[in-house]
Amino acid sequence: MDLRDQWNRLLPHAQPLGDDLLARYAEQHRHYHDQRHLTEVLETIDDLAEYADDADTVRLAAWFHDAIYDPQADPGENEEVSAQLAELELAAYGVEAARVEEIGRLVRLTAKHDCAPDDRNGAVLCDADLRILSLPQHRYDEYAAGIRQEYGHIADRDFARGRMTFLQGLSETRLYATPRGHEEWEPPARDNLTREVGSLGPRAARPIGGLIPIIYFGAALGSVVASSVLLGRGLGAAAKWPADPTDAGGFPVWAPIAGTAVAAALTCAWFRRTQQRLVSVPAVVFAVVGVVAIGLCWWRWPAAQPGAAMSERWPYLMLASVALVLAGALLALARRLRLAPPYAQAPPRWLGVGATAICGALLAWVVVSAGEPFVQARLETANTVSTTTTIEPTQLPVQLDGTLAWSREVPATGAITGTAGGVAELRSDGVVMSDAATGQIRWRYSRADVQDAASGGAKGLLVSADTRTIAAHLPHSAYREPAGIDLPTYAVLDAVSGKVLTEVHTDGTALAVDENQLLVAEGNYVVAHGVSSPTHWRAQVRCNVTQGELIGDQAVVVDACAGNSAVVRGLDLKTGAQRWEVDLGARIDLSAELDPSTWVGDLVAVPDTREVSGLIWTGAAGGTLYQWSVDVGEGRIIWTTPVPGTPRPRLGSSSCDAQLAATHASLVLVTCRTGNDPGQPQTYDVSSSSPADGTPQWHHLLQVPPKLQQPEYPRNGFGLLPDGRVVTLMPQPNGSCSPVMIGTTGVQPRPILPSVNAQPVAKSEEVTCNKPAVTVAAARPVFSDGTRLFALN
């Protein structure tokens, strides 16, 4: 049955309208949308008639669906004017209004072929219109050639771009709506579409171009997985510090499992190239959820509070939210690029899956790895309170007459030490610097995530030789430091201004500091961390390093092993290369089993010389302390001298940690004697010797009451004045606690005298000797009795 007979069967009283429509489909500019196309559409409707509610209505819509066809019209314009023609002509020929309205709707539907699931008439017409996509290759090629002829007014490059976009849009949706069309015609149609897309564009660029969306898609999946891992880290962390370790619920493994499952589902949707909403919708969901989560994290971001530090929970949750937004953006970009003609041709599946896996794994690793520095930076910023000053320390003359310069109650302090900026107090959470002349606080540095920094005693504060740089030890308990986050264990500060010069994380022990580097011992390694310079080196020596000093262009360290090995070494300060070494065993009998942490004592540099002096214990004569001196310019021992009767450090209640201090003209040693009975005063040796040859200058014995007999008392409780005298706090027979001056004239108690302008001292403000600590700042003795800090003229 030819087309005219088919029309007459549908509307026998409207033959002129049929003739007009046939004339329209025979127009010269039609090379595909012609009578042959109309015939194929009508034949397909006959095949699918069982699926339509009203097959004849669908046939009438088919006659009008391309009745007006202008290749230069805007998208959807041809379908609209064709629908209007159908509504006008059919109404004129007396077709019922409801049927006319349905035919107009069906014609408009062919603009996008997006019929609803329950639209049976629309499904049949759309499938019939797209039937050409599934026809044999030769017919499909004729169709493609006809389309190109109809769009001959468009340049080849522009046509290829537009045609590929159209075909790609078709291939990413369900092509046929009827059950028969979907089952029988879908596979050959997709093969034809893929083949035509492959024929468009420069062949050399196709494989590379097709990989571009794959790379972005893989990166999006990597961001999804990274976000799930970071979410798990955040949820597994304690909400705040300090906290009991049980507050952290542990890493929730369901989070990365869920993220990996979502990534796998997206991969299946992407490579099946069907139901692309499974790719598009998650992109929007990821972006929206990520933005909302960022807002929640920002709103709930905890403020720094004294004694309660922010944990890693919120930084990890913030980073997980950002990663989710990134995943949404990358997924949307990949989806958009896939529709662009230059990138539309998909590479071989094995190549696409491989590129997705590699890009996803790489970006997931990068994002998760970058999370730790990000979290570390946020924790350091949120948990650090640091103030600085531009005001120079007060300079007042010191009369050394014993008058009280100032007094101030303070929390229980650890070590105190004199610096160019004043008196540095090591507190439980950081450092406070007070003006030596007035007692006013000049600056402070504290960290809420630090616990018991003051417990380190005198070793918790290191001061450079010029006293302008200090390093404070910032210990963390095991459960307060998050896994993978290297919170600083040392802060290097400018003593005058309070400026943070650097913060260093190390598991070792700091030995010395100056404005250029922090010297750290890590077992038998010596590490130099740059402060104001990028210098960083790591040198290995034979034994464990226990002491070190920075002098000139060298780092002088002492390393000792169990047995008879104790070596002083000079290391180049720029490279860590060894310049010289001196074996102390060649001059001192070290036959006793050595424990470097207790047998090797202080190491000090003599100001304005090339000489370092140190201490070492041996087992000779029941315990002998040796003092030695080395010329670091020539790398040789200058002298050694014994101090008999000194117990090994940390060996019983009668032992102590000797203190060695140096001025330009003297080496002052404070240590204890053996043999005191429990509960009785202990004898301390306080002596001075010449740095040049060890010749004694003066020597005095000091009776220390039982309440002060602590191993760290010689180190914490004595201060060295610039003139070589030693000062300490000592209980007096009358029950008071007053400074004691030790020097060439002997041991002299110096009661504290009130200054002329000072108010009378209240009973509650009287000095006690419960926990004395002494230092010298700006030539002024400064004391702490555990509850107050005070200074004398």
Which residue has 């009973």 as its token pair? Answer: 763
Residue 21: count of CB within 10 angstroms of its CB: 22
What pLDDT, on a 0 to 100 scale, did the predictor assign at position 762? 45
**138/249 same-domain check:** no
Domain boundary (201, 222, 253) is at: 201
**233/175 same-domain check:** no
pLDDT lower than 70: segments of the chain:
1, 201-209, 240-250, 273-278, 303-308, 339-346, 399-401, 412-413, 456-458, 477-484, 562-564, 591-597, 620-622, 650-654, 675-677, 754-767
* Strand spans (E) along 584-725: 600-605, 611-618, 624-631, 636-644, 659-662, 667-672, 682-689, 696-704, 718-720
Write the DSSP assignment of 132-159 as a string of letters.
GGGS-HHHHHHHHHHHHHHTTTS-HHHH
**Cβ neighbours of residue 114 closer than 8 Å, sequence gap 6 or more:** none
**578/432 same-domain check:** yes
What pLDDT, on a 0 to 100 scale, did the predictor assign at position 563? 61
CB 511 within 8 A of CB 569: no
**24/83 same-domain check:** yes
Report the DSSP beta bridge partners of residue 153.
Answer: none
- What is the pTM for the complete model shown? 0.68
Q: Please give the backbone phi and psi of residue 417, each rounded to the nearest 5 degrees, phi first.
A: -150, 145
**369/463 same-domain check:** no
Range of the domain at 276: 210-385
**Cβ neighbours of residue 286 closer than 8 Å, sequence gap 6 or more:** 224, 324, 325, 327, 328, 331
Buried b (16+ CB within 10 A) or exposed e, 121-130: bbbbbbbbbb
**220/191 same-domain check:** no
pLDDT, one tens digit per residue, over 724-779 is 889 888 887 777 778 888 988 888 888 777 655 444 444 445 667 777 888 888 88
Positive or negative, the CA dihedral 79, 81, 87, 90 is negative
Q: What DSSP character marks residue 305?
A: B
Pairing, β 525-530 against β 517-522:
antiparallel
What pLDDT, on a 0 to 100 scale, did the predictor assign at position 205? 45
**380/399 same-domain check:** no
CATH code of residue 456: 2.130.10.10
pLDDT, one tens digit per residue, over 516-575 is 999 999 988 999 999 987 778 999 998 889 899 999 899 999 998 866 678 999 999 999
| Nearest by Cα to 739 from 780, 699, 710, 709 | 780
**366/501 same-domain check:** no
CB 216 within 8 A of CB 330: yes
Give the total residue count for the chain: 793
CA 151 distance to own-chain centroid:
56
Residue 336: count of CB within 10 angstroms of its CB: 14
Q: Does residue 691 have a cis bond before it (omega within 30 degrees)?
A: no
**Residue 644 CA neighbour count, 13 Å, CB half:** 3
**411/429 same-domain check:** yes
CATH code of residue 162: 1.10.3210
Domain boundary (201, 235, 255) is at: 201
What span, in angstroms and rounded, lies between the C-alpha atoms of 387 and 446?
Answer: 9
**571/631 same-domain check:** yes
Angle ∠(425,427,429) on CA atoms, nearest 5: 135
Domain boundary (161, 177, 201) is at: 201
What span, in angstroms and rounded, lies between the C-alpha atoms of 167 and 173?
Answer: 10
**397/345 same-domain check:** no
> Looking at the 3D structure of the chain, how many domains does it have?
3
Consecutive H or E run containing 73? none
What are 73-77's contacts with CB under 8 Å, separation 24+?
Answer: 75/111, 76/111, 76/112
What span, in angstroms and rounded, lies between the C-alpha atoms of 308 and 205?
Answer: 59
Buried b (16+ CB within 10 A) or exposed e, 616-628: bbbeeeebbbbbb
**248/294 same-domain check:** yes
Positive or negative, the CA dihedral 638, 643, 647, 650 is negative
